[in-house]
Structure 1
Amino acid sequence: MSSKKYNITAIAKLAGVSPATVSRALNNHPYVTKEVHDKVFDAVHRLGYQPRMPSDRKRLAIIIDNRNMILNSYANTMLFHLSRFCDLHDIRAEIVGYSNLELLEENFLKVAIVFQNFLMEQDARQFPHTQFICINRQIPGYASVCSEEEQGIAAAMRYLAERGHRRIALVLPNASDSRSVILRRGAFCKISAEAGIPDAESLIACIDQKPVEAVARVIRAQKPDALLIAGEDMLFPTSFAVAMLGLSVPEDLSVISYENNYASAYMVPPHTTVAQDFTRLAEHAVNLALEALEGQVISDRHIEVPNSFIERDSVKIRMTINQ
């Protein structure tokens, strides 16, 4: 229903409270009980009421994990491109922290974009009036825009194999429930097995609370001839571990990492990388948001975006594939 047909009086009548109570509930007055608050907001959503916003701009939420205030390269880059496309389409983007998800309802935010791995399905289900768009995450019943994870891993491993690398180790973030981690790990193990390397799991270092030790442990035990660092924000601890072991890149150990816009080109030597297309990820997510804001149902939409490959100087040619 159109919000133009209803006002606070209509909400008050449906909720069985006074117009003044409706006003207090909408403004989060501390004296409004949870029971009354819920009755008012139930009436609001049943009537399709939305308060008039300044300049009537389109609005959406971008949800971040405010329990950890360290914004990494992935988060910074994603936020930049999302804000750029929101501005391009005259959408007002409101940052909502994970610990304040109730603002989705209280601020009448009908669309929310989430690009980190913290939001659980049960969290999203608490807000039936908000359409969620997940980036690099899939939750049943919600739209998603994701990088083609297997394609990125396959491109990197093919590049290394063509240059004579046989024993490739994988560095992953310690997030076993992450879609990206699951797919990258699965692709690595599948390709390794096809290449006749049965012990692929022993070649995986998962970054945990002691990232340098985790990487060094795998390098010492498995003696890889190449590292694939499958994440934008594991570049520094992995590089530090390699240096502490007295190894040189690419003379002793070739490296392919995931493109970190702030660092990859400035490493010594500059890193060859798999690059997520943050521009396209953000563009598709905001376009889906526009459809949702226009009243379309987008819950069945899933878009995959291919990675690109940037060749620099961190891989040594040990032998050609034909030798």
Structure 2
Amino acid sequence: MNDSQHPGTSSDRSGPIPRRSVLKTAGVGGAVMALGLGVAESAGARAVPKRSVAADGRVGGNSVDLFCRVKMGEFDDAGNGTMTVTCGNYGPDDATGPVSLKFITPYFINVATLPNVPGGTTSWLYENTAPDVPSMFKVAFDGITVGTTVDVVVQLTLHPEAPNIPASGRVIFTTDEGNTEDTDGDLSHNEFPVISVRKSKQHPVKGNSNLYFTTEGAPLVIGGPAKPIAFQFYNGAGLLHPTESVSHFTFSTPFYARVPAGGRPPGLTMLYENDDPAVPSIYQLAIPPGIGLFGPVPTVVHIPFQAQPGGPFGHIGGPGIVVPTGSDSQGDYSDSHHWFGFVMVKEGAV
């Protein structure tokens, strides 16, 4: 079976953690998703044009200051939970043009149904039920009044093999492409992390691998050239216990960063791609067998990253996860996922 299809830029993939069920969703509502181990297939994607912000030279008549925050509820024993995202505008002016909230799910968590938001229109950007691949949806609004807030309540489901150390997702609330009415001059509080809360579970059945990765937190010049970033992949299973099958490293780009076409390593597949700085792209890297053959010596792969114009200063980050496939297995995924990131800097004196 295939995941629900949506028009846009996406590609097929086979996931290391199989899928037991399929979500069929049409607009607001949709069917409840049962998360399980199964082969992840490509979901659809609808690409959004590149969004212009004030730093890119677009000047709107309204000065707005958008923000969002998250209140995460606990997951119950059945794996059901609720998240509330609050979106607002500090002003000083009303936002009268199109604005939108984007939500990128954590690993091991899926959206049960698309939320029904009064005054908003909800749609999938990318949908994938695989535990090691995020999904994304968008809630579009025709502006937001200064001093008011809008709550978006999202029903979530937790995968039964989710590790005790929770994976992180993200939300971001921004002006949209084509919005020439509003200018948001401060992007420092437009995004917020999403971290799950759950009861500790028994340690899972032990696998034959222990994959994890590290990378450098390099500086990227805003609007500057791409920089190859080294990702080191390890297998803590012990000396002479390498992976026998291909492993998958799946990541979503930080907000305001992209992976340019030039310099991509062999085995890197685009799952979902979007040039909008406020919408991450999702990629999966196939790592050849042999991780951990020489114990602590890592398998190193360089992936290019570039800071897009108009992004904020400071640290930006995105999540990554490395998982085994085939004859390789891993019982505890606590070390297999974490955030990686970069420092966004401006070239020259400030």
TM tier relative to shorter chain: under 0.3
Larger Rg: 1
Return the TM-score normalized by structure 2. 0.25
TM norm structure 1: 0.27
More helix by share: 1
Structure with the largest fraction of strand: 2
